Amino acid sequence: MLNPVVSAGAYTDHDKFIFESWGYFIIPDVLSKDEVQQCLEASERVHKAAGTPAFGQVGRGYETEPALEGLMDHAAVLPKIRGIYGDKFIVQSGWNTRQPARGVMGGWHQDGSGAYNFNQLSHPIPLLQLRASYLLTDQTKPGMGNMELVPGSHRSAVPLPASIREQKGDTPIGHVICATAGSVLVFHNAVWHRTYEHNEDYDRYTMHYIYSPPWVKPSDRMENNSEFMARTTPMRRALMGDYTRPDAPFGGGYAALPFHSPDKEG
Ligand SMILES: O=C(O)CCC(=O)C(=O)O
């Protein structure tokens, strides 16, 4: 199977071509085995604290779990987000997803908002939620709770047929992402996707960071946690959307993120 694999770090012209063509790419082996283990243990704690019944997504784990917090501005991934968005964006949300052992297929969807869906805005659907999904369990073959995406579908003028969606059916152009634990999938909100079935005996965890333009409302929090904001780094505070109000909200004076380098590296 073709695989849109890119290297960690700077967003190259080739990465851009891949992202524009397919709507997603994969960065293999971003996390070491130890880092994956720490993130897995952190994921188990946040779901235990939240009392997730079966399949479930818990936001704000980064506030209490340093291993998850560290993924928010990971050096392998943040330059890609910067390359795609430029120097001004926020973390709209950070969702930690658990798919239980022997979990079933999820429903096909595009990301957006039930309150005012992105497909009401324009076609092609604009990029408003750029997702970096840190796979925390092995997904090297289908049936391991993989993500399945339809390449290029962010540009499709027609939806995936309702008959397929209702039956949670297959499409021959579905691409089941196979990658090691610690790899990262980055994708456009408009790419049609679903959670693939999970035939293993352990729960599957994925940490999703969603990056948005600065004027998009955060979706995992009503306000930032003051203790987290006080102790985290300037970059993470800025990614939480913490800024001094300029002359007009999001007009002139909105500061760029505090990147270390003026170029697109970091
Ligand atoms: O299975 C997952 O981790 C992701 C679920 C999903 O498709 C989503 O949150 O939009």
Q: Which of 23, 21, 27 is nearest to 180 (CA)?
A: 27
Distance 97 CA to ligand 1 centre (A): 7
In three-state secondary structure terms, 180 is coil
If you average pLDDT over residues 48-69, what whole number do you get? 96
45 CA to middle of ligand 1, Å?
A: 19
pLDDT grade for 249, boundaries at 50, 70 and 90: confident
Residue 27 has pLDDT above 70, yes or no: yes
Q: Is 157 within a domain?
A: yes
φ, ψ (nearest 5 deg) of residue 28: -75, 150
What the block records as the tokens of 181 is 């634990």
User: Per the domain annotation, does 132 fall within a domain?
Assistant: yes
Domain assignment present for residue 78? The answer is yes
Q: How far is ligand 1, taken at its centre, from the CA of residue 263, in Å?
A: 32
Per-residue model confidence (pLDDT) at position 162 = 98
Written as one letter, the residue type at 176 is V
pLDDT at position 134: 99
236-260 mean pLDDT = 82
Whether 195 is in the pocket of ligand 1, judged by its Cβ within 6 Å, is yes
* Number of other residues whose CB lies within 10 A of the CB of residue 157: 6
Calculate how far, in angstroms, residue 161's C-alpha sits from the geometric centre of ligand 1: 20
C-alpha 148 chain-centroid distance = 14
15 pLDDT more than 80: yes
Instruction: Please identify, by atom number, the ligand 1 atom nearest to the C-alpha of residue 99.
Output: 1
Backbone dihedral angles phi then psi of residue 20, each to the nearest 5 degrees:
-65, -35
Is the pLDDT at 266 greater than 90? The verdict is no
Residue 97 CB less than 6 A away from ligand 1: yes
Q: Which of 258, 226, 223, 191 is nearest to 59 (CA)?
A: 223
Q: Which residue, 195, 206, 194, 190, is CA-closest to 154? A: 190
Residue 138: pLDDT band with limits 50, 70, 90: very high
CA of residue 56 to ligand 1 center, whole Å? 9
**Please, what sign has the CA dihedral across residues 170, 173, 179, 184?**
negative
Instruction: Say how far residue 28 (Cα) sits from the centre of its chain.
Output: 15
How far is Cα 114 from Cα 256, in angstroms, rounded to an integer?
30
Pairwise pLDDT comparison (247 vs 143), residue with the higher score: 143
Residue 251 confidence (pLDDT):
74
- Residue 11 in any domain: the answer is no
Which residues touch 72 (CB under 8 Å, ≥6 apart)? 62, 91, 94, 209, 236, 239
Residue minimizing CA distance to atom 5 of ligand 1? 195
CATH number, residue 158:
2.60.120.620
In a domain, 176, yes or no: yes
Question: What percent of the chain has a predicted confidence (pLDDT) above 70?
Answer: 97
Confidence (pLDDT) at 1: 67
Query: How much is the pLDDT for 118?
Result: 95
Residue 139 included in any domain: yes
Query: Is the pLDDT score of 244 beyond 80?
Result: no
pTM: 0.95
User: What integer pLDDT is reported at residue 70 of this predicted model?
Assistant: 98
Bond into 124 cis (ω within 30) = yes
Residue ranges with strand state E in 117-251? 130-135, 147-149, 175-176, 184-188, 193-195, 204-212
Backbone angles phi, psi at 54, to 5 degrees: -145, -105
CA of residue 195 to ligand 1 center, whole Å? 6
Q: Buried (b) or exposed (e) across 18-53, using 16+ Cβ within 10 A?
A: bbeebbbbbbbebbeeebbebbbebbebbbeebebe
Instruction: Give the domain range for residue 181.
Output: 29-239
Q: Supply the mean pLDDT for the chain.
A: 95
pLDDT band at 192 (very low <50, low <70, confident <90, very high): very high
Q: Is residue 17 part of a domain?
A: no
- Predicted confidence at residue 250, as pLDDT, reads 75
Nearest Cα neighbor of 176 from 149, 140, 145 is 149
φ/ψ of 131, rounded to 5, equals -105, 130
Residue 253 lies in a domain: no
Q: Give the chain's domain count.
A: 1
Distance CA 204, CA 40 (A): 9
On whether the CB atoms of residues 132 and 96 are closer than 8 A, the answer is no
* 93-122 average pLDDT score: 96
How many Cβ atoms sit within 10 Å of the Cβ of residue 109? 13
Any idea which of 44-48, 92-96, 242-246 has the lowest mean pLDDT?
Answer: 242-246
Mutate to test the pocket of ligand 1, among 58, 147, 189 (most ligand atoms within 8 A of CB): 147
Q: Is 137 in the pocket of ligand 1 (CB under 6 A)?
A: no
Q: What is the pLDDT of residues 203-220, one digit of tens each?
A: 999 999 999 999 999 999
